[in-house]
Structure 1
Amino acid sequence: MSNRSEPLSPQGRAVVITGASTGLGESCAHHLARVGFRVFAGVRREADGKRLREAAPADLTPVILDVTDEEGVAAAVRRVTDEVGDDGLWGLVNNAGIAVTAPLECVRPELLRRQLATNVVGQLTVIQGFLPLLRAGAGRIVNVTSGVGNVAIPYLGAYAAAQFGKEALSDALRRELAPFGIPVSVVQPGAIMTPIWDKMSAEGLRTIEDAPEPVQELYRDSFLRFLETNEKSARTSSKTPEDVARVVFRALVTRRPRTRYGVGKDATGGRLLARLLPDRAIDRVFGGIVAPSR
């Protein structure tokens, strides 16, 4: 008789993870393969897949998977279906995403559309595609969001909108899929240093420079200060991508997974902040970010 408190064995169970080219996704893919999962790692380019495969344990298969390309998602589903057959899929880890960083007044509509298409619409497209395999394998879903999915921070409004959206999708899916025995968990990393931070700063600077000069003048000083502080927070964080990978692993093997897992004090603190403080108090907490320089 099995102990209900013991974790499930990962051996031979198939898992798909999106956004595995770099950062959190790459760490998760390597970690899950090392502990015994059969990993299908979603990457956007053949070169990324080759590099990932060369550095990974034996049971890791790169799969071309751009979450914003519906035909590409369908092709990835067919590829994984051919590989796993009737065994189905044990886990789907939705990690792919981008982070638009800029004052909302500077965010062009096409940039917001790309943010939402990647972090929200693309995630649901992937989930819809792999659900038949998850049912066949009595599997589960792990959605990687962010601490910004708890509270919207100035200059991360577009990213927060996407993460709030992914949180909402996760809640609705958890309730809709409960009758079919498919758990849905959210993993919320805080500020953790990965290549995304360099992209955020570079693209944020380009975005504000594309705004009309009078608008640039309104935000430039406080936004540059925000970028510096934000990156410093990630660089000095005690948490690493490997910490996130271990939490994702826990969500995949725990017999009764939690609905949410925070990784880092800022992620868990943000959740408490949103629950306990009124809006005006939270506004004051973040007031220093947008305050003009003296």
Structure 2
Amino acid sequence: MSATKLFAILLCFAVIGAVAPLQSEAPKDSLFGVNTVILITLLAIPFVFCFLHSNNELVTSDNKAVVITGCDSGFGHSLATRLHKLGYTVYACCLFSKQHGADELRKLGESRMHVLQVDVTNEEEIRDATEYVKSTLGDTQLWALVNNAGIASYAEIEWCSVNVFQKIMDVNVIGVVRMTKSFLPLLRASKGRVVNVASLSGRYTLPAFAAYSMSKVACIAFSDGLRQEMCKFGIKVITVEPGLYRTPIAVQMMADSKKRWNDTPTEIRDAYGEEYFAGFIDLLNFQMTRARENVEEVVDMMADAVTSTRPRIRYVPYWVTKLRSTILMLLPSGIRDKLFRLYSVRVEPKCMHNSP
């Protein structure tokens, strides 16, 4: 056991030991009552478990293949490159297989890097990709499927059309279902794993993220159900849940938001007003300044989910983000809503100017 793990365990027990004696000296309804000791113990257990469970042992990449969606850019592109360097055969599924991102992957060598045209909303392309993988595996086994492809929209519900909601669900949820169902027979043979890239937006919802959050809640629910159903076959199911990172999908949200606004019926735009929308864009710009730039933090965890002999069930990149998300999920909804209102547009909608 490493010194860091041992220190963390001793620190947890030291805190519990320091607080426990206080319960006998304090009134039942005091801050240091038995309930506090129980709470501290319960909070300490998961952190101890995480340190004990962390694992640096890797599976061998020999005769193992990985299918990854969304490899045009961002997390998927970086993961495809990383796993290829580690010796895996990679089937990199790209939405635009003739463009720059796909061409960069091809340059890594065709012997272990296969670039496929796959739109996860297109069942024919998924069938073709599955047959291609089956016909080219040879003695190699499909070890992992990484469902990384996704889209997002940053728009308030009133100016986010139903079509946009449907498109996001089709890519981020039904696309994951399509790919998983298509490749499960191969994964069953290898006792491999499914890695689904979800988001912390699947754990709680910020203003203007309703459509995206809905899809990630569904992705997490699908992953939970799949994990329980696949354990009898020895297949592991893992989610990676990053916060906001400066990826192409995040940068695209700016242009996307303006398009959503312009496509909104005049009656609704008049209710909010251009001044409100300008405040909305200012808020989006502020959010982007808070986006983390080190995307390798996420890729590291995606790679660990694929290569570790004992992967975690859930990965949240960056410890501060993980701690913040844990606290937010424990808060009552009313308090969480008040905190999230701090990240709302500060401009009053136009229709409210003359309200009593």
Give the TM-score taking structure 1 as reference length. 0.91
Q: Identify the residue that residue 220 of structure 2 maps to in structure 1.
A: 167
Identity %: 33
Contact in 1 for aligned 2:204/2:329 (Cα 8 Å): no
Is 1:11 paired with 2:68? no
* Offset of residue 198 of structure 1: 2.3
Give the CA RMSD over aligned residues: 2.0
Cα deviation code 1:206-230 (max 9, x no counterpart): 1012213453352514421221112
Runs of 5+ in structure 1 lacking a partner? none
C-alpha spacing 1:5/1:268, structure 2 compared with 1 (3 Å): closer
Q: Identify the residue that residue 241 of structure 1 maps to in structure 2.
A: 295
Q: Could you tell me how far apart the structure 2 residues matched to 1:270 and 1:83 are? A: 44
Q: Identify the residue that residue 93 of structure 1 maps to in structure 2.
A: 146
Q: Could you tell me how far apart the structure 2 residues matched to 1:258 and 1:79 are? A: 30
Q: Could you tell me how far apart the structure 2 residues matched to 1:23 and 1:291 are? A: 29
C-alpha spacing 1:123/1:149, structure 2 compared with 1 (3 Å): same
* Paired letter, 1:63: L
Q: Identify the residue that residue 280 of structure 2 maps to in structure 1.
A: 223
Q: Could you tell me how far apart the structure 2 residues matched to 1:86 and 1:135 are? A: 16
- Tell me which moved more, 103-112 or 239-248: 239-248
Q: Please say which structure displays the higher CA radius of gyration.
A: 2
Q: Could you tell me how far apart the structure 1 residues matched to 2:134 and 2:205 are? A: 38
Contact in 1 for aligned 2:280/2:345 (Cα 8 Å): no
Contact in 2 for aligned 1:151/1:270 (Cα 8 Å): no
**Alignment map for 1:245-260 (pairs within 5 Å):** 245-260=299-314
Q: Could you tell me how far apart the structure 1 residues matched to 2:343 and 2:279 are? A: 7
C-alpha spacing 1:199/1:145, structure 2 compared with 1 (3 Å): same
Aligned match of 1:144 in 191, 197, 204?
197
Count of residues paired in the alignment: 288
Q: Identify the residue that residue 211 of structure 1 maps to in structure 2.
A: 264
Higher relative contact order (CA 8 A, sep 6+): 1
Aligned match of 1:59 in 104, 112, 128?
112
Runs of 5+ in structure 2 lacking a partner? 1-54, 349-356
**Alignment map for 1:1-294 (pairs within 5 Å):** 6-48=57-99, 49-54=102-107, 59-85=112-138, 87-216=140-269, 218=272, 219-234=276-291, 237=292, 240-265=294-319, 267-269=321-323, 271-293=325-347
Contact in 2 for aligned 1:187/1:262 (Cα 8 Å): yes
C-alpha spacing 1:273/1:208, structure 2 compared with 1 (3 Å): farther
Contact in 1 for aligned 2:283/2:345 (Cα 8 Å): no
